[in-house]
């Protein structure tokens, strides 16, 4: 069975999108990824570079009158959220797909996601919970479920939910909490009760993220990453991690996560090191592509440093915290340590 995925991003997430693609390629025997290019630079990049198992879709091809009409009323981020259900529906309809899974561009796969989709069984829709750690719980505002990995089958029940979601997002999709809504995400809260054949993912290996990773210990066993739930002791292979909030800054600094989520050293070692190294390797591989000089708002000095390195995955060569400590004292160094700012050489 071929696994059909779709995603959307513009130039600022091109490196994440490629990292996600390569992680799928490394872990899936048979998949196809439909990429919606949300600006011309991203579209031109894919026109100039061939990626197996990828179909690139332009805004010109995708946007209909309904989307174009509301586009001026939404910010760039809000418009991306608005388009999420429409991208899934477009793929299913245009390519006559039996199913399609939307995935965020900043996901990274560590094992085959087929196990997650198989869990649906005879159901028609698959959604994933945030599974917030208690002290980070944002369910009331942001929703119980996360629009990060959402599967729809091309059947009566799947299309009913998908069409409802598409229409709801066109009517209202903003980056604020209002009347029980928030972006495209809070709409999912009532799906299990309001619609038939909606399945909530049970596999803990799908949907690990900065807001819930504190609940797990992570170990490497036979080249596979295994997560163990601290509360129950239940172990399962890690399928994907959501690298939400990771950001590159000028002066070769990378921040692992926003919102000051607690990230244990084992998580940095096994997950973030691999992910950041993958992004740096992609930057090196495509060093002659102009878009990478503009990605993430990184300075050309940063990109230049990256592309001149022969071994981008070297770890712990330089510790930014030690340098800062010598200049400004331990208080700022502790701040950087606590809030997960690192020099790219750490990876």
> Do residues 153 and 99 lie in contact, with contact meaning Cβ atoms separated by under 8 Å?
yes
Task: Determine the pLDDT at residue 330.
Answer: 47
> Do you know the residue count of the chain?
347
What confidence score (pLDDT) does residue 132 get?
Answer: 98
Query: What are the distances in angstroms from CA 236 to CA 24, 127, 219?
Result: 19, 19, 11
Separation between Cα atoms, residue 53 and residue 20, nearest integer Å: 13
Degrees to nearest 5, angle at CA 39 with 38 and 41? 135
Q: Give pLDDT tens digits along the chain (347 positions).
A: 899 999 999 988 999 999 999 999 999 999 999 999 999 999 999 999 999 999 999 999 999 999 999 999 999 999 999 999 999 999 999 999 999 999 999 999 999 999 999 999 999 999 999 999 999 999 999 999 999 999 999 999 999 999 999 999 999 999 999 999 999 999 999 999 999 999 999 999 999 999 999 999 999 998 899 999 999 999 999 999 999 998 877 666 788 887 779 999 999 999 999 999 998 888 878 766 644 445 444 443 433 333 333 223 333 223 344 444 443 444 444 545 555 666 666 66
Alpha carbon distances (Å) from 273 to 83, 268, 344:
32, 6, 10
C-beta separation of 156 from 279 below 8 A: no
pLDDT for the residue 319:
39
Q: How far apart are CA 23 and CA 35, in angstroms?
A: 15
Report d(CA 93, CA 154) in Å as an integer.
9
pLDDT at 310: 28
Cα separation, 109 vs 238, whole angstroms: 8
Which residue in 135, 121, 113, 126 sits closest to 188, CA to CA?
Answer: 126
Task: Print the SS3 string covering the chain.
Answer: CCEEEEEEECHHHHHHHHHHHHHHHHHCCCEEEEEEECCHHHHHHHHHCCCCCEEEEEHHHHCCHHHHHHHHHCCHHHHHHHHHHHHHHHHHHHCCCCEEEEECCCEEECCCCHHHHHCCCCCCEEEEECCCCHHHCCHHHHCCEEEEEEEEECCHHHHHHHHHHHHHHHHCCCCCEECCEECCCHHHHHHHHHCCCEEECCCCCEEECCCCHHHEEEEEECCEEEEEECCCCCEEECCEEECCCCEEECCCEEECCCCCCCCCHHHHHHHHHHHHHHHHHHHHHCCCCCHHHHHHHCCHHHHHHHHCCCCCCCCCCCCHHHHHHHHHCHHHHHHHHHCCEEEHHHC
Q: Residue 191 phi/psi, 5° resolution?
A: -60, -45
Output the CA–CA distances (angstroms, integers) from residue 63 to 69, 100, 214, 272, in the order listed. 10, 19, 40, 35
By CB atoms closer than 10 A (0-12, 13-18, 19+), residue 107 is: buried
* pTM confidence score: 0.86
Could you give the domains of the chain? 3-206 (3.90.550.10), 245-346 (no CATH)
At residue 101, the pLDDT reads 98
């Amino acid at each position: 069975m071929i696994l059909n995925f779709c995603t959307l991003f513009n130039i600022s997430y091109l490196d994440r999108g490629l990292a996600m693609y390569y992680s799928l390629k490394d872990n899936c025997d048979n998949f196809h990824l439909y990429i919606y290019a949300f600006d011309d630079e991203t579209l031109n990049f894919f026109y100039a570079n061939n990626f197996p198992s990828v179909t690139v879709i332009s805004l010109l091809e995708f946007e209909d009158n309904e989307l174009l009409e509301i586009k001026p009323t939404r910010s760039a981020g809000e418009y991306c959220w608005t388009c999420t259900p429409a991208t899934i529906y477009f793929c299913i309809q245009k390519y006559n797909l039996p199913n399609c899974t939307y995935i965020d561009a900043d996901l990274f796969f560590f094992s085959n996601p087929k196990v997650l989709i198989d869990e649906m069984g005879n159901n028609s829709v698959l959604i994933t919970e945030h599974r917030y750690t208690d002290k980070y719980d944002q369910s009331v505002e942001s929703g119980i479920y996360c629009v990060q990995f959402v599967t729809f089958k091309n059947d009566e029940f799947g299309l009913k939910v998908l069409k409802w979601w598409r229409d709801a997002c066109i009517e209202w999709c903003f980056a604020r909490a209002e009347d029980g809504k928030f972006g495209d995400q809070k709409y999912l809260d009532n799906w299990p009760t309001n619609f038939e054949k909606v399945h909530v993912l049970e596999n803990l290996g799908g949907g690990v993220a900065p807001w819930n990773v504190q609940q797990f210990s992570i170990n490497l066993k036979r080249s596979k990453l295994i997560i163990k739930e601290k509360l129950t002791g239940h172990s399962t292979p890690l399928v994907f991690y959501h690298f939400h909030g990771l950001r590159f800054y000028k002066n070769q600094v990378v921040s692992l996560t926003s919102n000051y989520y607690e990230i244990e050293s084992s998580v940095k070692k096994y997950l973030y090191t691999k992910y950041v190294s993958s992004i740096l390797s992609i930057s090196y591989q495509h060093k002659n592509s102009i878009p990478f000089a503009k990605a993430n708002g990184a300075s050309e000095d940063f990109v230049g440093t990256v592309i001149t390195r022969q071994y981008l995955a070297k770890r712990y060569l330089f510790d930014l915290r030690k340098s800062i400590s010598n200049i400004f004292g331990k208080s700022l160094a502790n701040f950087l340590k606590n809030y997960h700012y690192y020099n790219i050489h750490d990876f």
